Chain A
Amino acid sequence: MELDKIKMLLDKYFDAETTLEEEQVLQDYFSSNEVAIELQEYIPLFNFRKIERDIEFNHSLPKRGNQGLYKWFAVAASIAIIGGLFLFNDIKNEPELGTYEDPQVALQKTKDVLNMVSFYMNQGQENLEYVSEFGEVTNKIIKTP
């Protein structure tokens, strides 16, 4: 009776023709304690299916530990990049020509500067007379923009 039915379902099962309900019947039968001796060899098969289906993941997912650290690396890198941009902007932001737009004025001022440098340089090498007079004049030259 029931045994015949189970055997028939088993045959169907191995032919892969069972429905889900019929498989459930087989499952129930093999997990009960009344399995006929001749069918006991199939117990592991159905138990295995049951065990596999019941597996659950109980552990907590591991956290990505280094994320916090990397975040700060990113912060540091962006600060460095922004700082770098400022640094180079500084150089580029220089006025195109400088204080003077008029080349003639600039030329004169450049000469004055070179004169002053030259003067003090020579002063270091030899003792000139009238040094203070020249110094005052140079001071005036350099003061007026």
Chain B
Amino acid sequence: MKKSILILAVSLMMPFIGAAQDLTKYENMKDVTSMVMTSKMFKLLSNIDFSSEDKEVQAYSDLIEDLENIMVFVSEKPEIRKQMAADVQQYLKNSKLDELMRVTDDGKTVKFYSKPGRNSEYVSELFMFLESTDKEEPATVILRITGDINLKDVSKLTQDLKVPGAEELKNIETKK
């Protein structure tokens, strides 16, 4: 009797334990490159003076303003990548995300998932899972963005770039 109640209590808590583990555990894991940005940072960013004549900068600032959280975890270690794949499966199951699209290209598989937002153009969560089986640089990337995200705006960011986008790419590299 006593045992069964204890078991019941523990089993009731299992989903919470699972959710708590979540994906944040990768943040401080060895061999994982992580990047986390919180709503506080985005608030700070929105106060920065974006030299707003630039249309492109404006596009970014509009997007960033409504973000809540960005998490990126990258790993190249086979064991961790396996674990990541399993955890992502679990995460997707638990948080009931819808698959948005799947892109397979040149040894890379990119999957997009999203959670519906306030209307059809917006999503409240955008989840990207990238697996590269490239022989030289196999890597797994987990990327999760939450907030009020306009998917159209996101896709516009690089849409105009097209080819040749070389200059744009150089800019990104030199700025880092």
Contact = CB atoms under 8 A, between A and B. Distances in A.
A80 B172 contact: no
Interface string A73-85: 1011001100110
Interface in A5-21: none
Contact of A113 (B5, B145, B169): B145
Interface in B97-147: 101-103, 105-106, 108, 110, 112, 126, 128, 130, 132, 137, 139, 141, 143, 145
Interface in A43-81: 68-69, 72-73, 75-76, 79-80
A133 to B, nearest CB: 8
B102 A124 contact: yes
A144 to B, nearest CB: 7
B163 interface: yes
B157 interface: yes
Nearest to A133: B169
A97 B37 contact: yes
A142 B6 contact: no
A117 B173 contact: no
Contacts, number: 172
Interface stretch (A23-31, A33-41, A88-96): A88-96
Highest count of chain B CB atoms <10 Å: which of A75, A117, A118, A133: A117
Interface string A104-145: 101111111111111111111100111111110101111111
Contacts of A42: none
A74 to B, nearest CB: 11
Interface string B52-87: 000000001001100100101010000000000000
Contacts of A32: none
A137 B169 contact: yes
A135 B169 contact: no
B1 to A, nearest CB: 7
Contact of B112 (A108, A120, A134): A120
A79 to B, nearest CB: 6
A110 B106 CA distance: 25
Interface of B: 1-2, 5-6, 8-10, 12-13, 16-17, 19-20, 22, 24, 33-38, 40-42, 44-45, 48, 60, 63-64, 67, 70, 72, 74, 101-103, 105-106, 108, 110, 112, 126, 128, 130, 132, 137, 139, 141, 143, 145, 151, 154-159, 162-165, 169, 172-173, 175-176
Interface of A: 68-69, 72-73, 75-76, 79-80, 83-84, 86-87, 90, 94-100, 103-104, 106-125, 128-135, 137, 139-145
Q: Give the 3 A-B CB pairs with smallest separation, nearest first.
A: A76-B9, A98-B37, A118-B157
8 contacts: A76-B6, A95-B36, A97-B37, A99-B36, A112-B176, A115-B172, A120-B103, A124-B103
